[in-house]
Amino acid sequence: MIIKSFKLTGCDKTYYHAQLIKFEQHMIKNYPDIVRAEYGKQDNRGSLSISLVDDNGAIHKQRHFKTKDELLGFVIGYNLAKRDGHL
């Protein structure tokens, strides 16, 4: 897992870090060509993104977000849906 251009801060940083790891582990388990997830600023547009990187180092899939809270909300929501059997 790589976090670029933003920090996890505050009393919830351990929780957020665990959620990012859980999301990455699920992606690696369910998509054999994915080897890691990268979170953060990926380009000069200023948006944050989740990038799923394959074993060649190429970005396999990418999703953009306007804010860090939006990115973390997506990851937490995904993890909750997976936990509750909706995925």
Residue pLDDT, tens place only, 18-75: 999 999 999 999 998 999 999 988 666 778 999 999 989 899 889 999 989 999 999 9
Q: Residue 43: what pLDDT? A: 65
**Among 32, 72, 30, 31, CA closest to 50:** 72
Domain ranges of the chain: 2-81
pLDDT at residue 16 tops 70: yes
Q: Residue 27: what pLDDT? A: 94
Enter the pTM of the model: 0.87
Cα 63 → chain centroid? 9
Query: CA-to-CA distance for 35 and 28, rounded, in angstroms?
Result: 6
Query: CA-to-CA distance for 71 and 63, rounded, in angstroms?
Result: 9
Fold for 2-81, please state it.
Answer: Double Stranded RNA Binding Domain (3.30.160)
Phi first, then psi: what are they for 10, rounded to 5°?
A: 85, -175
Query: CA-to-CA distance for 47 and 66, rounded, in angstroms?
Result: 5
